[in-house]
Amino acid sequence: MSKFAKAVLLAATLASLLAACAVGPDYRPAPAPDATAHNLDAQHFAPAAPPASWWQQFPDPLLSRLEERAVLANLDVAIAVEHVRAARAAFREAKLDFAPHVPLEAQYARSTEQEPGFATDRIAIESYTLGFDASWEIDLFGHVRRSAQAAGARLGAQQASLADTRVSVEAEVARNYFELRGAQRQLAVARDNIANQREALRLTQIRYDAGRVTELDVDSALSRLKATEATVPLLEAAEKRAAYRLAVLLSVPPGELDAELTASSIPAWTDPLPVGDVTDLLRRRPDVRIAERNLAAATAQVGVATADLFPRVTVTGFVGFLTGDGAQLGAGSSRAWAVSPTLSWPALDFASAQARLRAAKAESEGTLDEYRRTVLGALEDFENACVNYSRQIQRLSSVVEQADASRRAAKMAEIQYREGQINFLVLLDAQRTELEAEDQVAQAETAVNTGAVAVYKALGGVPAAPTQAPKVAAAGR
């Protein structure tokens, strides 16, 4: 065995004996606490697990097609995918630091210089080099190991961020779709009432011409008609906004989906909403997983900063050919090797290393607080979504009854007006109440459906197992 091979073997043996020593805190993630739901009443929620594609519960094939297209085409999802690829590449690079880096080098050099102590004449010197340069940091105190752990945790955070982006896109598509259908429903109600009010104005004008009513009745009918017509432009704008937002979510220009999004109705979800087992809510939510992986990365960085307080040993070497005569390059006489171990230690720069360590610890403590804040925010988000959904269901029930009653009242008022039992203002008030009630039903139905979307978003989208963080070694805190 050559001397070079013996040196490399000795270095590898020494490294294997000492590499297990990794300074700094070990990250041991505490399991996320179980979520205790306070607003899951049996009347509005069911313990059955929802389907993975929860939007398929709504009887609308177009919504399902839009969701599928959005996940495939959405640019935010595409950006998140690229971030995952970049983080995965960085993690792979960090793992490669455990092994020597061995690039191939070919070099030619020519210079003229003196030989100090021998002569004052300048001589020409040529050198030819061809071989492999090697560099290897022997991970005595875990600098490489902790760096790889941090890169692996950052990869896990990006993977969770991708899941979070998908959950947000799915929820945004459903929410905007329901708002679009709600605006279209309100427009239909307004246009039906405009047609009725125009007819009422025409009849009132005939009665006025016949001297049976006053000009006040005509002006009141006209005023009510114009007030209803004034709501149409705002509803049309709301319809366009929702349609354009859906187009952008699917990465197509605004207006390209207009042919697909023609007016249609979708009923409100009134059955108990399937939510499954919510005790593992905090393990499913991507934002909580992002915060947890960021905490793991920050803890590993404390280990990196701690390792900087200790000596670092780097071994560099060369094996190949070195000669001053290009014709001899590759010949046995030009073979060469070199091994050069180097030890570096902060020494007089120790204060800077300690300052970096204090900064890393402070960053880790701040990331821990961010994790706790994210957990509390997730619980708050879920409770608010459940409360809002159940209350919107109750509101819908009330406004439906109100609409039925106001519809009957408007019909009775019209009959009594024709019989001369009431004046025109009473009829207008009954019709106004009917219009408002029908509009509130459309709004309440939209609020129920968007409330269901908020519940599933607060659950973290589909009830899937969390993304497993890449493992380098036992990283912990």
pTM over 0.75, yes/no: yes
Q: 194 lies in a domain?
A: yes
pLDDT string in tens for the chain (477-residue length) = 555 455 555 555 555 555 556 788 888 876 667 778 888 888 899 888 888 889 998 989 999 999 999 999 999 999 999 999 999 999 998 988 888 888 888 888 888 876 666 666 777 788 888 888 888 888 888 888 999 999 999 999 999 999 999 999 999 999 999 999 999 999 999 998 899 889 888 888 988 888 888 888 889 889 989 999 999 999 999 999 999 999 999 999 999 999 999 988 888 888 899 988 887 777 788 999 999 999 999 999 999 999 989 998 888 888 888 888 777 787 888 888 888 888 888 877 888 989 999 999 999 999 999 998 998 899 999 999 999 999 999 999 999 999 999 999 989 988 888 888 888 788 888 888 888 899 999 999 999 999 999 999 998 875 544 444 444 443 333
**Residue type at position 467:** T
- Write out the residue range of the structural domain in which residue 237 sits: 23-98+146-309+356-458
Q: 112 lies in a domain?
A: no
Task: Tell me how crowded residue 206 is: count the other CB atoms within 10 A of its CB.
Answer: 11
Q: What pairs with residue 317 in β-bridges?
A: 134, 339
- CATH code, domain with 384: 1.20.1600.10
Q: 414 lies in a domain?
A: yes
Q: Token pair of 297, please?
A: 């990365």
Q: 7 lies in a domain?
A: no
Q: 362 lies in a domain?
A: yes
* Of 310, 305, 312, the residue nearest 357 (C-alpha): 305
d(CA 170, CA 166): 6
Contact 71, 171 (CB under 8 A): no
State how many domains the chain has: 1
Q: 132 lies in a domain?
A: no
Q: 50 lies in a domain?
A: yes
Distance of CA 315 to CAs 47, 101, 102, 408, Å?
Answer: 61, 10, 12, 91
Show contacts of 196-205: CB within 8 Å, 24+ apart: 196/431, 197/221, 197/224, 197/225, 197/228, 197/431, 198/225, 200/225, 200/431, 201/225, 204/424
Q: 63 lies in a domain?
A: yes
